[in-house]
Amino acid sequence: MAATAPLMPKATAVWLVENTALSFEQIAAFCKLHPLEVKAIADGEAAQGIKGLDPILTGQLTREEIDRAQNDRAHRLRLADPKVRVPESRRRGPRYTPVSKRQDRPNAILWLLRNHPELKDAQIMRLVGTTKSTIASIRERTHWNAQHLTPMDPVTLGLCSQIELDLEVEKGSKGAPRREEDEGLGTLLPVEETTAPEVLSSLSRPTPVSSRNEEEIDAEAVFAKLNAMKRAPSEEDEDEL
């Protein structure tokens, strides 16, 4: 079986069905399709609007390889070695963003600036596919639509994946200084200190109850104060008159 699928597998399968005597299994193995799908192409039930692609003209197969496969049903077609090796292109510069999502980039940039100040401009450019001048205008509130921008997560907007965001945040946080709210937070004590014998013994020791000197309550003094607060019956009668 071929290591990789040929260019335009279905179009290649259409051509092989129409121009060769190869079996459905041989065509399916070469084009990375299911034999039933190749049979549907031969019956006219699938790929009706697809024009056949000649793999010989495209340099993917040789006539000798096809003749050998037609004479031997157990033989599997193999892709011809390409004459020109095209190096893999590596992405440089900002990420390409579809036109339908470009209007969401300012909101994503504002979200990144507020929630991840440790990110550098180059990292934000890689995540959302923007320019340094756009980032500066949003940071300085000089963007033409600054008043209507709303911070939105770029992962939710589909501008980048959560893994890419986490990697950039991890890279940016390595060289970033500690924030003021994190400086006052303590750290957990090591296990050796928390499990020391003297610490465990102090925890298991019962806490003594502090003794309080309760003052004796003088009942006569309390009732005397209550009587003083009450008005005399004679005074109440005078008020009624």
Q: How many CB atoms lie within 10 A of CB 63?
A: 8
Total structural domains in the chain?
Answer: 2
The answer as to whether 57 is a domain residue is yes
Task: Write the CB contacts of 8 (distance below 8 Å, at least 6 apart in sequence).
Answer: 53
pLDDT of residue 235: 52
Residues 150 and 113 in one domain: yes
- How confident is the model over 56-115, as pLDDT tens digits? 888 889 999 999 999 998 999 888 877 666 555 555 555 665 666 678 899 999 999 999
3-state secondary structure of 72: coil
Residues 104 and 59 in one domain: no
Residue 111, domain extent = 99-174
Task: Write the CB contacts of 224 (distance below 8 Å, at least 6 apart in sequence).
Answer: none
Of 174, 195, 229, which closes a domain?
174
Of 135, 153, 174, which closes a domain?
174
CA distance 16 to 9: 10
The residue type found at 122 is: A
pLDDT of residue 58: 85
E-strand spans in 132-238?
none
Helix (H) or strand (E) holding 174, with range, is helix 162-174
Provide the whole-model pTM: 0.39
Stretch 198-210: mean pLDDT, rounded? 57
Cβ-in-10-Å burial (0-12, 13-18, 19+) of 180 comes to exposed
CA distance 132 to 94: 10
Of 152, 174, 196, which closes a domain?
174
Residues 167 and 104 in one domain: yes
3-state secondary structure of 73: coil
pLDDT of residue 158: 86
- How confident is the model over 146-182, as pLDDT tens digits? 899 999 999 888 888 888 899 999 888 886 555 554 4
Chain centre distance of CA 179: 24
